[in-house]
């Protein structure tokens, strides 16, 4: 089956918003095994819209529209598609009652214009919208079909997932399941290790690059949901076998979620002592609902006096080793443990730039330490986060490494580089 996506909206043509709907629909269609030949964005000129719909219908089996379902006279997508598909619209009392009720909830009454939103296909069918006023529509004409969805991404995605996707699964005679494996590290290092796994046709695997990590989306088609899920799980296991510890979780929004879950499962508390990341690690941890069970104290010790006063770092140590150094990072982590009573701590000091480079320590040099109250041990790593990276990227990568250090300490995994220090052992400069 071939498809094309037609987004209707002046705000897209003016560049007021970025077209995330086209990406979402393209990815979903690809997962269904439907080839997307063409994406378009058009305005509300009726003659031009009609020409485009006619051409697209000749070219492709399925047309997916988003936008153009509003109440104003300019919104003519549904009327135009109805004409091209030769399917008249009729007034639907149930939809009209829903629109009236929707307005009533916010103390308003619909205008005469809103009546056109209650018009639905006679031969095709409506796609009810439980998330807004305008229902969508489904048209068919021989082998050709069209799905009309609203432009608001939240409404469009919900209606797609609840109504259009199942309909297409039935047409494609299959069920689909996806899983997203999250992996620390860049696309090229992952591709080098797992190249053959990306060649698979069912399940498919696609990689999406994020700051300091990547998402691998695995999608399987099968006759049943359980079958598709099993295929996915097997392929994810193959990736895990190749990628090892760096593959940290499946279907989570990010590493902080994994860290909070792991700490919760083990009844552990973590604390943070941050200089160059300025609260970013604490912010990521507390963005996870329920973080209060595992995180109580965070120290943003941006000034040297803050490191001494809040964490008890010896000013003489800062004087001797420089504030951006391994010994200071370790003293910050150990000081945070003492000041908070937590089980685990991280300490971060570094140069996020753009200014402030030191001899032998360019911008992007970050010392990251972990301390474990259960063993008295500490970990220390010196990061060199590329010389051409922006301040915000340096901070984001340092925070991600810090979360990974917490994860590794929680799971008892070996550190990803650097040294492990016993209690009382001298801290190297690195």
Question: Can you tell me which of 77, 301, 365, 410 binds a copy of itself, judged by CB under 8 A?
Answer: 301
**Beta-carbon count within 10 A of 139 CB:** 23
Q: Does 130 bind a copy of itself (CB under 8 A)?
A: no
Point out which span in 63-71, 92-100, 299-307, 379-387 binds a copy of itself (CB under 8 A). 299-307
Least distance CB 310 / a copy of itself (angstroms): 7
Q: Does 306 bind a copy of itself (CB under 8 A)?
A: yes
**Beta-carbon count within 10 A of 31 CB:** 18
Question: Can you tell me which of 161, 211, 224, 305 binds a copy of itself, judged by CB under 8 A?
Answer: 305
Helices (H), 127-275: 153-159, 165-172, 187-194, 225-243, 255-266
The DSSP bridge pattern shows strands 365-372 and 378-384 to be antiparallel
Distance of CA 295 to the CA centre of its chain: 23
Q: Does 20 bind a copy of itself (CB under 8 A)?
A: yes
Sorted by sequence, the CB contacts under 8 Å of residue 110 that are 6+ apart come out as 71, 99, 100, 103
Q: Does 37 bind a copy of itself (CB under 8 A)?
A: yes
Residues 215-274 that bind a copy of itself (CB under 8 A): 272, 274
Question: Can you tell me which of 19, 77, 117, 410 binds a copy of itself, judged by CB under 8 A?
Answer: 19
Look-up of token digits 């009327």:
79
* Residue 428 token pair: 């190297």
Spatial contact of 427 and 326, defined as CB atoms under 8 Å apart: yes
3-class DSSP assignment, residue 143: coil
Q: Does 107 bind a copy of itself (CB under 8 A)?
A: no
Question: Can you tell me which of 86, 107, 267, 355 binds a copy of itself, judged by CB under 8 A?
Answer: 355
Cα–Cα distance measured from residue 253 to residue 264, given in angstroms and rounded to the nearest whole number: 17
Binding mask 268-297 for a copy of itself (x = CB under 8 A): ----x-x-xxxxxxxx-xxx-xxxx--xxx
Nearer to a copy of itself, 18 or 414 (CB): 18
Cα–Cα distance measured from residue 359 to residue 25, given in angstroms and rounded to the nearest whole number: 51
The contact set with a copy of itself (CB under 8 A) reads 12-20, 22-30, 36-43, 45, 48, 206, 208, 272, 274, 276-283, 285-287, 289-292, 295-303, 305-306, 309-310, 339-340, 353-355, 391-392, 395
């Amino acid at each position: 089956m071939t498809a094309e996506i037609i987004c209707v909206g002046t705000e897209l043509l003016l560049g007021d918003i970025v077209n995330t709907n086209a990406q979402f629909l393209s990815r979903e269609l690809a997962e269904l095994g439907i080839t997307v030949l063409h994406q378009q964005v058009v305005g509300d000129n009726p003659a031009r819209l009609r020409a485009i719909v006619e051409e697209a219908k000749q070219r492709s089996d399925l047309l997916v529209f988003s936008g153009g379902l509003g109440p104003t006279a300019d919104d003519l997508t549904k009327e135009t598609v109805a004409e091209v598909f030769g399917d008249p619209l009729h007034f639907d009392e149930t939809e009209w009652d829903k629109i009236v009720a929707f307005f009533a909830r916010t103390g308003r009454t619909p205008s005469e214009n809103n009546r056109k939103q209650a018009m639905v296909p006679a031969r095709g069918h409506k796609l009810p919208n439980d998330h807004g006023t305008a229902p969508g529509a489904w048209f068919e004409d021989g082998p050709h079909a069209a799905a009309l969805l609203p432009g608001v991404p939240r409404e469009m995605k919900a209606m797609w997932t609840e109504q259009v996707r199942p309909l297409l699964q039935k047409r494609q005679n299959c069920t689909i399941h996806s899983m997203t494996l999250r992996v620390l590290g860049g696309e090229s290092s992952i591709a080098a290790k797992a190249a053959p796994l990306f060649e698979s046709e069912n399940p498919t695997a696609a990689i999406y690059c994020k700051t300091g990590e990547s998402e691998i989306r695995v999608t399987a088609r099968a006759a049943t949901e359980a079958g598709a899920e099993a295929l996915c799980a097997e392929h994810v296991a193959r990736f895990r076998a190749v990628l090892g510890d760096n593959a940290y979780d499946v279907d989570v929004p990010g590493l902080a979620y994994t860290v909070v879950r792991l700490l919760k499962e083990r009844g552990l508390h973590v604390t943070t002592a941050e200089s160059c990341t300025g609260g970013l690690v604490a912010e990521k941890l507390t963005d996870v609902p329920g973080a209060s069970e595992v995180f109580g104290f965070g120290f943003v010790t941006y000034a040297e006096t803050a490191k001494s006063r809040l964490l008890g770092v010896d000013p003489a140590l800062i004087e001797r080793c420089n504030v951006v150094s391994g010994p200071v990072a370790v003293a910050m982590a150990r000081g945070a443990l003492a000041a908070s009573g937590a089980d685990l701590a991280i300490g971060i000091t570094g140069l996020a730039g753009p200014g402030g480079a030191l001899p032998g320590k360019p911008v992007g040099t970050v010392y990251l330490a972990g301390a474990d109250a259960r063993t008295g041990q500490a970990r220390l790593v010196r990061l060199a986060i590329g010389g051409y990276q922006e301040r915000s990227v340096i901070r984001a990568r340092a925070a991600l490494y810090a979360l990974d250090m917490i994860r590794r300490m929680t799971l008892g995994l070996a550190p990803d580089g650097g040294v492990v220090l016993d209690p009382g052992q001298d801290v190297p400069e690195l």
